[in-house]
Structures are given as C-alpha cells and as structure tokens.
Amino acid sequence: MAKNEPKPIDGLTYEEAFAELETIVSALESGERPLEESMTLFERGQALTKLCAELLDKAELKVRALVGESLADFKESQ
C-alpha cells in the first residue's frame, strides 16, 4: 500500500472512520478540491458513514445483550 492510499475501510475502528469522515467533510466543505477528487472523497465518505452506522448498531446490540431489551432512554434533566 502506498503512503498516500487510505487504509482499507474494513480495517478501521469506529474512531478512525469517524475522524477520517470529519476530515473528508472539511475538505468537501472548503470547495477547493477538483471535481474528480471531490467525487472520490464523497464516495469514501459514504462508505465511512455506512461503516460507522454498522459499528454503532453492533455496539447497541452488544449493550442490549448485556443489559436486556429494556434500555432506558437518556433524557437531560431540566
């Protein structure tokens, strides 16, 4: 793998994927990238978003398995 090539998505942790996604969003919001590069970043961002959602779903399932299906809703006290 070349130095500039991003790490394969399936090998990323949630934190790594989210941090890269934040970087991609910043790069796209700047509007300074050529169209082709922006499209590549957008595609990677979509894949990272999917991975983050899947990892969060798995974490929720694990928590539910540990504490049961009756997870309390967390609400801020007013």
- The boundaries of the domain holding residue 29 are 13-64
Of residues 64 and 56, which shows the higher confidence score? 56
> Domain total for the chain?
1
Distance (Å, rounded) from C-alpha 64 to C-alpha 32? 44
Q: Let me know if residue 56 belongs to a domain.
A: yes
Q: Let me know if residue 7 belongs to a domain.
A: no
Q: Let me know if residue 6 belongs to a domain.
A: no
Q: Let me know if residue 77 belongs to a domain.
A: no
Q: Let me know if residue 29 belongs to a domain.
A: yes
Give this prediction's pTM: 0.77
Over residues 24-60, the pLDDT tens digits come to 999 999 999 999 999 999 999 999 999 999 999 999 9
Sign of CA dihedral 36, 37, 41, 42: negative
